[in-house]
Structure 1
Amino acid sequence: MDGTGVRGIRVMAGMTQASFAEALAVSQSCISDVENGRRTVSRDLRIKIAQVFGTGDDVLAAIQRAKESTKLAL
């Protein structure tokens, strides 16, 4: 998972960076840095996202397909 995947999960959840960060017990700047590629997605953050948002391989695969599509802007 990369920053675009994190952003996709956040957008699918209909959340702002601040509310997403609060749900994950991290700072908003952490989410911003991850989404903008200034920080990698840590193992702990991936686990938190999976626990809180129930993101399995199917969701991550859908986000990857959306990233590759020229019709969607993620």
Structure 2
Amino acid sequence: MIDVLFFAELQESLGKDRLSLEAANVASVKELKTRLQSEYQLEAIDRAMIAVNEEYATEDAKLIDGDVVAFIPPVSGG
């Protein structure tokens, strides 16, 4: 399984802060993003930073069983 964590607007759009997906169905972060956009209409995911196992990663990062992927949208404040 791959655990996927969502923060800020992505968490609000999804209505929960995490999902667990079968690792066999996604080989890279890019594939994961495509699947999440398709199944959950998370368009804002394109603007999010990506972390795999608590380290920043790019879309071409490979995923394996047990990985934790976080999508962190940009934040603003004042």
Shorter-chain TM-score above 0.5:
no
Shorter-normalised TM-score: what interval? 0.3 to 0.5
Instruction: Looking at secondary structure, tell me which structure has more strand per residue.
Output: 2
Instruction: Pick 1 or 2: higher relative contact order, CA cutoff 8 A, min separation 6.
Output: 2
Instruction: Looking at secondary structure, tell me which structure has more helix per residue.
Output: 1
TM-score between the two structures when normalised by the length of structure 1 = 0.37
